[in-house]
Amino acid sequence: MRTEGILSYTSRWISNSCLNRGGNTMTHNQTISRDLRKAGLKVTLPRLNILEILEGAEQHHMSAEDVYKALLNQGSDVGLATVYRVLTQFEAAGLVTRHHFDGGQAIFELDTGDNHDHIVCVKSGKVSEFKDELIEKRLAEIAEELGYSLTDHKIILYGVFQEEPDSAESSIS
């Protein structure tokens, strides 16, 4: 059973933080700048640009190379080493999560605070997210049966993505 329960960072972020203390609406860049400062990071143009790319990405999971290509397409003059450094800083600050799926490169996604799992196509590397309450419930039951209190888990499924004939994109990520 596939369910959509994934909240985008942008929608959570905007709904939680677009009002400043005076109740006035902040611009998108002001909001990004504030979130970077709250994470203990200095606001720089490369950080702003990279965070905006991650927020606006149709594909929730991006490699450093994907981010770099998106920056180049925007006309940004940021090097690949800077992209890697910024993504590592974002990871340390809790803004992104790094995944190392079997046989693939590291990919990054914004940390939305929700618990979801992944399925990875072994042919294309396509990554989809899913959340299933029955699985969540069963995992908690198993942990309890074994005397544990479940605090976290990660499930990664591997398979071959079967494109639907009517749709070139049927991912829920």
Q: Which band of pLDDT confidence, cut at 50, 70 and 90, is reported for residue 26?
A: low
Q: Is residue 172 part of a domain?
A: no
CA-to-CA distance for 21 and 33, rounded, in angstroms?
Answer: 15
Quick: pLDDT tens for 31-45: 777 778 887 888 888
Q: Please, what sign has the CA dihedral across residues 21, 27, 28, 30?
A: negative
Strands 96-100 and 106-110: antiparallel
pLDDT > 70? residue 4: no
Q: Say if 1 falls within a structural domain.
A: no
**What global pTM score does this model have?**
0.67
Q: 106 or 8, which is more confident?
A: 106
- Top mean pLDDT of 48-57, 58-67, 135-144 is at 135-144
Asked whether residue 168 is assigned to any structural domain, the reply reads no
Domain span including residue 94: 9-159
2 in any annotated domain: no
In a domain, 26, yes or no: yes
Calculate mean pLDDT across residues 60-71: 92
Choose between 30 and 24: higher pLDDT. Answer: 30
Percent of the chain with pLDDT over 70: 77
Residue 164 domain flag? no
**Is position 127 within any domain?**
yes
Q: Give me the CATH number covering residue 54.
A: 1.10.10.10
Overall domain count for the chain? 1
Q: What is the pLDDT of residue 28?
A: 65
Whether 166 maps to a domain, the answer reads no
Instruction: Indicate if the pLDDT at residue 5 is higher than 70.
Output: no
Could you tell me which residues come within 8 angstroms of residue 92 by beta carbon, excluding any fewer than 6 positions away? none
Give the pLDDT score at 34: 78
| Span 133-173, pLDDT tens digits | 999 999 999 999 999 999 989 899 999 999 765 544 444 44
Compute the mean pLDDT over every residue in the chain, rounded to the nearest whole number: 78
d(CA 51, CA 45): 10
Question: Which burial class, exposed, middle or buried, applies to 135 when counting CB atoms under 10 A from its CB (0-12, 13-18, 19+)?
Answer: middle
